Amino acid sequence: MLKRVHFPSSLLPYLLVAPQIIITLVFFLWPASQAMYQSFLIEDAFGLGTEFVWFENFEQLLTDSHYLASFQRTAVFSLLVAALSMGTALILAGFAQRVVRGAMFYRTLLIWPYAVAPVLAGALWVFMFNPTLGIFPYFLEMVGITWNHYLSGNQAMALVIMAAAWKQVAYNFLFYLAAMQSIPNSVIEAAAIDGAGPARRFWTIIFPLISPTTFFLLVINMVYAFFETFGIIHAVTQGGPGTSTTILVYKVFNDGFVGLDLGGSAAQSVVLMVLVIAMTVVQFRFVERKVEY
């Protein structure tokens, strides 16, 4: 934590941390405490006065069927994004680590979507699935499926999941490949001598050994799906049709900035804060006891 030998204490360390601390106070801690404070307030119908109501906003959230539905939707959305992008990445990494020389070549071709902003990923996918012009609806039509994510809630959900997962495959692939490459060769060779073929080696040796990475990625992907996919939803579906793609983050934004329900939006913020804290704790817990090969 601290060096054995350090510089004598003076004013200097305070000056060094000052920029970070000031920004943290002004733009992080103060707004967060404001959000918490506002979550205890209700504004009257004309926006003239506010009333301190303790947990009424939270009680309302818990009985609001729209909110609970959004909660459930977010869970499904996140799990599907995580499963789709991690599954794809796992398969690709599993094959990539077999080609010793070409692994880095494939890596280059697979990791660049990390740099694409979520909202752009959304734009790309919404273009491919444009109901009148898009490539995919054209092919789907041939097999008798009518695609219109402006009308079908499920299709809209599928679209944002694909867009969100597409961007994240790069990240998961990178970590999976690194984890697989850090398994000592001798372990794989021992399994080969024991008579295990490539597929068997993958499922009985490699996959169990990289389980810490799987867990780590699961948390990271959940956080990604919870927060960073805002751009996709906002640009592609605006939470619709109806509320079929309104995930929590979008709802906070929408209720606060569009609906101007400050108390309710603040209460939702606080719930999200609790979720982030929980996920961060889980993530750090995991880092503490990382498996050694």
Partner 1 sequence: MVENRPFATFLTHLVLVLGVIAIALPVWITFVAATHDPLRMGQAPLPMWPGDHFLTNMKQTLFGSGLSGTEGAPVWLMLLNSLAMALMISTGKIIISLLSAFAIVYFKFPFRMTFFWMIFITLMLPVEVRILPTFEVVADLGMLNSYWGLSVPLIASATATFMFRQVFLTVPDEMLESARIDGAGPLRFFFDILLPLSRTNIAALFVILFIYGWNQYLWPLLITTDTSMTTIVMSIKQMLEAAEQSPQWNIIMATALLAMIPPVFVVIAMQKLFVQGLTETDK
Nearer to partner 1, 28 or 203 (CB): 28
Q: Which two tokens stand for residue 156?
A: 């809209």
How far apart, in Å, are the Cα atoms of 76 and each of 43, 90, 125, 224, 234?
33, 21, 20, 14, 18
Q: Which amino acid is at 31?
A: P
Among 90, 161, 164, 220, binds partner 1 (CB under 8 A): 220
123 lies in the binding site for partner 1 (CB under 8 A) = yes
112 lies in the binding site for partner 1 (CB under 8 A) = yes
Least Cβ distance, residue 293 to partner 1 (angstroms): 16
Q: Which of 239, 248, 68, 79 is nearest to 156 (CA)?
A: 239
Q: Which two tokens stand for residue 37?
A: 């404070």
258 lies in the binding site for partner 1 (CB under 8 A) = no
Among positions 182-211, residues that touch partner 1 (CB under 8 A) are 188-189, 192, 198
How far apart, in Å, are the Cα atoms of 235 and each of 122, 156, 187, 229?
7, 12, 47, 10
Q: Which span (58-66, 67-75, 118-126, 153-161) binds partner 1, by CB under 8 A?
A: 118-126
Among positions 25-84, residues that touch partner 1 (CB under 8 A) are 25-32, 34-35, 38
Nearer to partner 1, 79 or 273 (CB): 273
Nearer to partner 1, 1 or 45 (CB): 1
Q: Which span (51-59, 72-80, 152-160, 170-178) binds partner 1, by CB under 8 A?
A: 170-178
d(CA 80, CA 63): 26
Burial (Cβ within 10 Å: 0-12, 13-18, ≥19) of residue 106: middle
How far apart, in Å, are the Cα atoms of 25 and each of 34, 268, 272, 281?
12, 22, 20, 22
First to last CA, the chain: 26
DSSP state for residue 27 in the 8-state scheme: I
Q: Which amino acid is at 95?
A: F
d(CA 94, CA 88): 10
Among 68, 69, 190, 277, binds partner 1 (CB under 8 A): 277
Note whether 165 and 78 are within 8 A (CB).
Answer: no
Among 56, 207, 214, 234, binds partner 1 (CB under 8 A): 234
Note whether 266 and 35 are within 8 A (CB).
Answer: yes
d(CA 101, CA 120): 33
272 lies in the binding site for partner 1 (CB under 8 A) = yes
Among 42, 80, 92, 160, binds partner 1 (CB under 8 A): 92
2 lies in the binding site for partner 1 (CB under 8 A) = yes
Among 62, 69, 98, 208, binds partner 1 (CB under 8 A): 98
Among 62, 72, 76, 127, binds partner 1 (CB under 8 A): 127
Q: Which span (41-49, 57-65, 171-179, 207-215) binds partner 1, by CB under 8 A?
A: 171-179
Dihedral (CA of 21, 26, 31, 33) sign: positive
Least Cβ distance, residue 148 to partner 1 (angstroms): 13
Among 51, 62, 66, 138, binds partner 1 (CB under 8 A): 138
Q: Which span (54-62, 74-82, 151-159, 167-175) binds partner 1, by CB under 8 A?
A: 167-175
How many residues touch partner 1 under the rule CB under 8 A: the total is: 99
